[in-house]
Each structure stands twice: as structure tokens, then as C-alpha cells.
Amino acid sequence: MQRKQTIKAALAGFLLFFMPPAIAHAELVVGMSWANYQEERWQIDERGLQEALSEMGATLVTADAQSSNARQASDISGLIARGIDVLAIVAWDSEAILPSVEQALAEGIPVIAYERQIEHPDVFYVAFNPIEVGRIQARELVAVQPEGRYVIIKGSPTDQYAHYVLTGQREIIDPFVADGRIEIVGEQWTDGWVPDRAQANMENILTATNDEVDAVLASNDGTAGGVVAALTSVGLDGIPVSGQDGDIAALNRIALGTQTVTAWKDARELGRLAARVAAELAGDTAPGDVTDRIVWDLGPNGVAQDAVVLPPVTVTWDNLDVVIDAGWISQGDLCVGVSENVPSACR
């Protein structure tokens, strides 16, 4: 008798162990298909996602496509076969991924496009608001330099993200341009976001304007680095310059006073947000009722989809503490070479 029960229990345990969790309903399982996990950034996302899911008692299973369309397709098939409740995807190619997305949706698995938009009406988009990035950059520059001659160093013309950022920048400065307080004296795209190109473009714009430039809207921290190098060579370093990403070199420039602002995206926050959205979608919440949900239709094809977007954090000389408190950068790296006008984060 005793023996039989033991066998039964073992059998039950055995079955439970192999039963797909989706059927077991025991706990939430979130599948994440990374495009290229080697990039440092995604490891930070995963930390946030993992933390938030563990707190809920949910499980995270991941696969890494290693920059391959084919591998990402088979990764997703594998995750579906393993049994997941929600599928999150960082698409390597937002077009080529569509058949895999359809496959998951057909199985009744909600799909989250994580950080990189997948234009499909039934996909839930979770990302940092790229337009807000541009707004933050322009807002901070306008705050310190409300009038004068502006230069815009745009991102890569073939990258939709660069267009989003520009949209946000123009939204803020266009009224100033309209009433003549701000004059755009030069603007150039930066092929491939390459910093040395941004530098050469900035040098030539400085020649064209005879150094009469009051502020530079650079679209990310890499191009901002090129801009600051160009400004330094004519002794103009210190005029307002924007950026985004919270690069270590850029945060150091903010501490030194050669860059004004970076729109910082704390990847862990986005991971936590995705965990929350996944939990809501796996529960009985309709996509339209997810907390903070908006409709996003600003992609290249104008497809309307449910989304939750996170505002990036504005980091300036005044609040550099936030990046240290978040463990994003060490005080040593932040404060290299800072000797005068020391920000509180370096004291």
C-alpha cells in the first residue's frame, strides 16, 4: 500500500515535470527571443525582466538568435513547442520575423515586441518612447539656450529610430524656429551613426558658420562625442550639446560640462515593464485594457497597435546621481578629469 502510493506520487511528479506548463496553469512562463544577446545592453534588460518575473513567481525562458533571421525563427518555434504563456521578441529583422509572430499568435500566445517595433496590429509594443528621446534633447537645450543659432546632427538616415528622434526634436524647437528665436544654421544626417562622420560634418558646419553656433542637437551620445571633439578643436567646447543612451564617455562629458543632456534608457526598467505587461496579457486582461496602454501608429507603415512606452530619463549635470544610484556607472568612471565646477555626484 505504502509502496503503491509512493509509486503513484512519483508518477504524478514525473507527469507534472514533463507536462507543458501552459497546460499546467501552475505558473506564468514568459519566453524571450533575443536578437543578439552578446550586446551588453540586453543583458541589463534581462536582469530587470528576470527580477520582476521572479518576484511574481514566474519563469523566464530565453533563446538567442545570434544575429540570424533563420535562427530566430527556429528559436521561436522551439519556445512555442516548449510551452510558454507569453512571447517577447527583440526582432533581428522586424519584417522577416512576421511569419514567426503569426505562428505564435495562431497558438493563442500573446506576442510582445520588445524595444524594436514589429508592425503588426496584434503585437503589443513595449519600448522606450523614441520620440520622447528627441523631446528630452531639445527641451534641455532650449532650457539653457532659448535663442540663438542651432545645428542639428541627425542619426542614420536609413534608421527609423533616427527619424523618430528628429520628430521629437522638431516638435519642441519648431515653435522657437517659427518665431525667430532659434535659427537652424546647419543640419546633416550621420550615415551609420558613425562618430567620426559626425565630427567631420560638424567641423565643416563650423567653417560654414564661422563658428557662430550656440547649441548642437546631436541625436545620440556617439555623434555627440564627434560634435564635442569638433567644438574642442575651435575652443567652443562647453556650448550646449545633447545626446542619448547614457554612454559612459557621455556621462563623463556631462560631469565635465562639455555635454548638456543625455536621454538615458534604464534597460532594467524596460525589462520590469515587459514582465508586468506579460503578466497582464497572460491573465485575463485584454490588450486594450493593459495599464498605461496607448495606441502606437507612428511606424513607417502606420500600423496601429497596442503599446506601453516608457519615457527615457533626462540626465543632466544636476541629477547625475541617478546613474550612480542605479549602478549604471561607477563614480570613478563618471568623474574622470572633473576638477572645477564639480557636480554633486562627484563629491
Partner 1 sequence: MFKSILSARMLSLLSLLVLIAVVFHVLSGGLFLTPRNLYNLVVQTSVVAVMATGMTLVIITRNIDLSVGSALGLVGMVIALFQIELFPAEAAWNWPLSAAIGIACGALIGAWNGAWIAFGGIPSFVVTLGGLLIFRGLAFETAQGRTLAPFQETYQVFGGGLNGALGEAVSWWVLVVVLALYAAGEFFIHRRQIRIGHALPLILRALRMAMVAILAIGFVFVMNAYDRPRTDIGRGVPIPALILLVTVLVMEFIARFTTFGRYAYAIGGDVDAARLVGIPTRKTVFWIYVLMGVLAAVAAVIATARLNAGTSSTGELLELSVIAAAVIGGVSLLGGRGTVSGAVIGAVIIQSLDSGMVLVGASSSVRMIAIGVILTLAVYIDKRLSKEA
- Neighbour-count burial of 276, counting CB atoms closer than 10 A to its CB (0-12 exposed, 13-18 middle, 19+ buried): middle
Q: How many CB atoms lie within 10 A of CB 304?
A: 12
Task: Retrieve residue 184's grid coordinates.
Answer: 537652424
| Identified binder of partner 1 from the candidate list 31, 195, 271, 312, rule CB under 8 A | 195
Complex with partner 1: residue 221 or 269, whichever CB lies closer: 221
Q: How many CB atoms lie within 10 A of CB 230?
A: 22
**Using the rule CB under 8 A, is 205 a contact of partner 1?**
yes
- Residue 226 CB, shortest distance to partner 1, in Å, is 6
d(CA 33, CA 75): 7
**Using the rule CB under 8 A, is 208 a contact of partner 1?**
yes
Complex with partner 1: residue 110 or 155, whichever CB lies closer: 155
> HSE (CB half, 13 Å, CA atoms) of 82?
19
| Identified binder of partner 1 from the candidate list 98, 229, 303, 338, rule CB under 8 A | 229
Instruction: Please choose, from the candidates 257, 262, 261, 265, the residue with its C-alpha nearest in 3D space to the C-alpha of residue 343.
Output: 257
Binding span for partner 1 by CB under 8 A among 23-31, 110-118, 206-214, 282-290:
206-214
Complex with partner 1: residue 109 or 218, whichever CB lies closer: 218
- Residue 151 CB, shortest distance to partner 1, in Å, is 11
Three-state DSSP class for residue 48: helix
Phi-psi region of 183 (alpha: psi -120 to 50; beta: other; left: phi over 0): beta
**Residue 280 and residue 291 in contact, taking contact as beta carbons nearer than 8 Å:** yes
Complex with partner 1: residue 158 or 291, whichever CB lies closer: 158
According to DSSP, residue 66 is labeled T
d(CA 240, CA 217): 8
Task: Retrieve residue 165's grid coordinates.
Answer: 528622434
| Identified binder of partner 1 from the candidate list 137, 199, 260, 305, rule CB under 8 A | 199
- Residue 341 CB, shortest distance to partner 1, in Å, is 17
Complex with partner 1: residue 34 or 189, whichever CB lies closer: 189
DSSP structure string for 88-157: EE--SSTTTTHHHHHHHHHTT--EEEESS----TTSEEEEE-HHHHHHHHHHHHHHH--SEEEEEE---T
| Identified binder of partner 1 from the candidate list 75, 132, 140, 221, rule CB under 8 A | 221
**Using the rule CB under 8 A, is 38 a contact of partner 1?**
yes
| Identified binder of partner 1 from the candidate list 1, 17, 18, 40, rule CB under 8 A | 40
Complex with partner 1: residue 38 or 291, whichever CB lies closer: 38
**Using the rule CB under 8 A, is 337 a contact of partner 1?**
yes
| Residues in 147-176 that interact with partner 1 by CB under 8 A | 157
- Residue 257 CB, shortest distance to partner 1, in Å, is 14
| Identified binder of partner 1 from the candidate list 146, 175, 192, 300, rule CB under 8 A | 192
**Binding footprint of partner 1 on the chain (CB under 8 A):** 38-41, 157, 186, 188-189, 191-196, 199-201, 203-205, 207-208, 211, 221-222, 225-226, 229, 232-236, 247-250, 252, 336-337
